[in-house]
Structure 1
């Protein structure tokens, strides 16, 4: 197999062809605040969206998640384990340093030397690299330990840093020898204070104040088309009501995720527009099925009921997904019966509908030995996903109705995600958008037994283990043939769904509202990007 992606002629001389830049500030109200400027701190949508402004990847994704050249002008695979990337020339970082292959190698090394990261963020990609070679300053050759058919897609989510932010000798992909870095590796605070926040993206960081605002300035040396906004101001406003009020009052130019019930008000006002874009983000619950005692489960027999597949199925049967979509999500979502929308590669063509049947749920609980139910706490964010705490409260009520006495512990994402990574919860709310456009994205990250290289199962916080699934998913992610890989992913999907350790609820839609003099391109990955906002023609 040979795959080659070439830089389109339309990208050449982009700065010369760009329209005259406008001078105003673009003001955006965010539904969920990034937890850091460090692009490798946490693989989280708000963080990744912010990073795209300041940094570039070797490969970029458009609003429909189609790949396009980034810092790599082209790439090809030899049909096995070898990928060659030709890097874009003439690119400089905002500190004036030229971009070269050395910076990419340094970036790869940093993902494996990042002591302040949350969980295994991005190390699951580079952990599969057997070697990285730099024949010249603008050529990069990656040899993977196992075949990686989706490497360009995976690298589209990995922001590239400059090696100039550390003391170093010759940089090489020799992790055992610290890759040539002689000083300390940058920590999250070095990015948050701006010291290490040096990229090649369309904007550069002016200031980052947690809980207040993030301010960006246009990068005058950006290699692509100049952005129309001289500056961008992101303000975190986690409640939908104040976000809408700020838009109506003129405090914000764009807001993300207004409540769907408020769309009628926006539609009726010529001063504003809106866009709704279906996403690949599945909202689900991850269950602790690996421990005999779980911290937030209490049963009369002293065991962990979540280890019983009948209990897990009963919990799924207790949930009315249609009601959640209609009443809580106001119709701006779709019930989920698998972990990626039907029709995408590796999904089931006709997944079994996850029915709402509380009577059957009670019967299963009794069969499992819990006719009187048990006590359970659902853990969730209250400021990350659309209506996350309301969704969790609704599920708690459904579970209580079948005899599982359920409480909710909702908290800010800054507290929630580190605790979840430490496996402190019994049933944890999650949201996952596919960055690859196929079922492998979820299936390689959450259900697998973690492998030694940590390229699989990096988010298996619930201790799920299925040997047959592990065998199938390991085969799937190393299969270069698209048709065969899709068939293997369908097998893997079927196995995980049958076990019920991950209970899917629905797929979110991204919603943006904005002033009518603007045009906003909604993104399938739900990224809120200033680059997606242009003056209306």
Structure 2
């Protein structure tokens, strides 16, 4: 049986033409996760899930890696949820909202009777405490943290308040608040579905000194709060040891608690060990099925659930490295890469080749974006024209990690490195263990010339792909194009429609023409599940809350 026929579809791609949601949403939640009536029976099942690595931290405002978010989605909730089928914003901690006519002010009505896991009340003041915390993150925190999201969404923090999209959060009453923006931001409600904007207990933030990053865990700096998050979600944090994170059901949860009383997220660095753990019955499922173990799962009759593609894998280039300042050298890199071979060897069937950073089904994808194709002879010519003399170029790649967008990074590195070497590049490998700060190293200014990474979309808007990567100069690419920065800034404030779509198409073409990085694939990711699992809430944006997992009795 081929990989293509063995996969089951686990989720429908999120709605691809989301509106700006300037009116009130549907009056009632549309999924079990936001049902207002808890089940009478107490969840008692234990569910073990294999992950590709340990989380980098459990404060979602400061850690944006997949494994951190997988845990914090169970523990904390935001104002707005996501409909699993349509991608539309749905009520979560906010039951309804309205927007002002100019799109610069949103008023939220909050769910009543909700408490944080530490017993403190959830209310408008608590929400505003969180927003003000994110807005006021210091530059020191932003440099130390494994991954912050606020700036990528709202452009700036309080130290550059005049340039920030966020203006203020005002508690109008215990269950009513208003968020004011400095300009229209079409994707605002969708952005609020990001794990980074989940609401933490202010009491716990203070007790855990959340903004004091004075602990070190697996090479990552984090606060005491980052080791013990406190939210309103269906599961409470219980423990985090050297191999796993344990959560337990929140007996006071306002919604459906599902069947699972205890979750154990168990880290297995290597794909084969995850596979074997599933076959041995040690875990009930795992994420990031690779091509290498796909056929073994099929032969053993295990369930494989496919997510619709909603990520892009790319080769990053740092223009602060002198050789890569030259457009001809960057074009030579693109021409040297055989994307078809990479996808055939290392990605699951139906993974599509990428020529830009916005997935093809999203509004703003440009069918005519320039792509140089695979032409090693032309790559050699361009390198000669550019005067490249074999200067060594460091190529960073992660070890002991599997990401939804990058299932086997060591093998992908080896192939790309071979292709670049074949046209004349002098590659110096720099392997970095994922848990040893790989993200920090390649996203900060440094000596990385090339690096492997990807971006998993979190909501269905082109801005979610382009603004974090190319909305401003950053340490990852050293990319400086004021015109593109300005166009991204303008597009995010345009109402949904033809003009906004065309603006993003223009941006995609302009980015593709200057080659700040080489998009390689829109990968399909998949999960493997034991026979014990009846259904699993697979989501393109990884919004997978385990109250929705259904198990056999």
Alignment partner, residue 198 of structure 1: 230
Alpha-carbon distance, 1:202 to partner: 0.8
Q: How does 1:179-218 map to 2 (within 5 A)?
A: 185=211, 187=213, 188-194=222-228, 197-209=229-241, 211-218=242-249
CA contact (8 A) 2:370 2:512 kept: no
Alpha-carbon distance, 1:113 to partner: 4.1
Question: Is 1:74 matched up with 2:96?
Answer: yes
Question: Is 1:8 matched up with 2:28?
Answer: yes
Alignment partner, residue 199 of structure 2: 160
Alignment partner, residue 14 of structure 2: none
- Separation in 1 of the partners of 2:344 and 2:500? 35
Q: Which runs of 5+ in 1 are unaligned?
A: 169-180, 295-303, 451-458
- Separation in 2 of the partners of 1:166 and 1:511? 35
Alignment partner, residue 325 of structure 2: 307
- After TM superposition, the structure 1 stretch with the greater mean CA deviation from structure 2, 9-18 or 483-492, is 9-18
CA contact (8 A) 1:23 1:228 kept: yes
Alpha-carbon distance, 1:21 to partner: 4.5
**Alignment CA distance shift 1:536-1:506 (3 Å):** farther
- After TM superposition, the structure 1 stretch with the greater mean CA deviation from structure 2, 155-164 or 347-356, is 347-356
- Separation in 1 of the partners of 2:456 and 2:30? 30
Alignment partner, residue 510 of structure 2: 495
Give the CA RMSD over aligned residues: 2.5
**Alignment CA distance shift 1:193-1:48 (3 Å):** closer
Q: How does 1:518-533 map to 2 (within 5 A)?
A: 518=533, 519-526=535-542, 529-533=545-549
**Alignment CA distance shift 1:263-1:62 (3 Å):** farther
- The Cα offsets for residues 124-148 of structure 1, whole Å up to 9 and x where unpaired, read as 4454211222211111211111211
- The Cα offsets for residues 330-383 of structure 1, whole Å up to 9 and x where unpaired, read as 53632111112212111113444551110111111111122x543212112221
Q: How does 1:40-55 map to 2 (within 5 A)?
A: 40-55=61-76
- The Cα offsets for residues 180-233 of structure 1, whole Å up to 9 and x where unpaired, read as x9x884653322442xx2110010010012x41100001111111012111000
Question: Is 1:137 matched up with 2:137?
Answer: no
**Alignment CA distance shift 1:185-1:473 (3 Å):** closer
CA contact (8 A) 1:24 1:231 kept: yes
Alignment partner, residue 178 of structure 1: none
Alpha-carbon distance, 1:63 to partner: 4.0
Alpha-carbon distance, 1:318 to partner: 0.5
- After TM superposition, the structure 1 stretch with the greater mean CA deviation from structure 2, 116-125 or 352-361, is 116-125
Alpha-carbon distance, 1:10 to partner: 5.8
Alignment partner, residue 309 of structure 2: 279
Alpha-carbon distance, 1:255 to partner: 1.1
Alpha-carbon distance, 1:18 to partner: 3.5
CA contact (8 A) 2:318 2:324 kept: yes
CA contact (8 A) 1:281 1:434 kept: yes
User: Higher relative contact order at CA 8 Å, sep ≥6: structure 1 or structure 2?
Assistant: 2
Where does structure 1 differ by over 6 angstroms across 4 or more consecutive aligned residues?
Answer: none
Question: Is 1:228 matched up with 2:259?
Answer: yes
Question: Is 1:362 matched up with 2:380?
Answer: yes
Alpha-carbon distance, 1:58 to partner: 0.8
Give the alignment partner of residue 121 of structure 1, picking from 139, 149, 157: 149
- Separation in 2 of the partners of 1:124 and 1:205? 28
Alpha-carbon distance, 1:5 to partner: 1.1
User: What is the TM-score of this pair, normalised by structure 1?
Assistant: 0.87
Alignment partner, residue 381 of structure 1: 398
**Alignment CA distance shift 1:253-1:477 (3 Å):** same
- Separation in 2 of the partners of 1:429 and 1:104? 36
Alpha-carbon distance, 1:430 to partner: 1.9
Question: Is 1:92 matched up with 2:115?
Answer: yes
**Alignment CA distance shift 1:118-1:243 (3 Å):** closer
State the aligned residue count.
499
- The Cα offsets for residues 366-405 of structure 1, whole Å up to 9 and x where unpaired, read as 11122x5432121122214211222122111100000002
Alignment partner, residue 341 of structure 1: 359
- Separation in 1 of the partners of 2:75 and 2:68? 11
Q: Which runs of 5+ in 2 are unaligned?
A: 1-19, 158-164, 214-221
Alignment partner, residue 111 of structure 1: 134
- Separation in 1 of the partners of 2:530 and 2:201? 37
**Alignment CA distance shift 1:159-1:184 (3 Å):** closer
**Alignment CA distance shift 1:269-1:20 (3 Å):** farther
**Alignment CA distance shift 1:512-1:62 (3 Å):** farther
**Alignment CA distance shift 1:125-1:469 (3 Å):** closer
| Aligned-partner SS, 1:230 | strand
Alignment partner, residue 453 of structure 1: none
Alignment partner, residue 534 of structure 1: 550
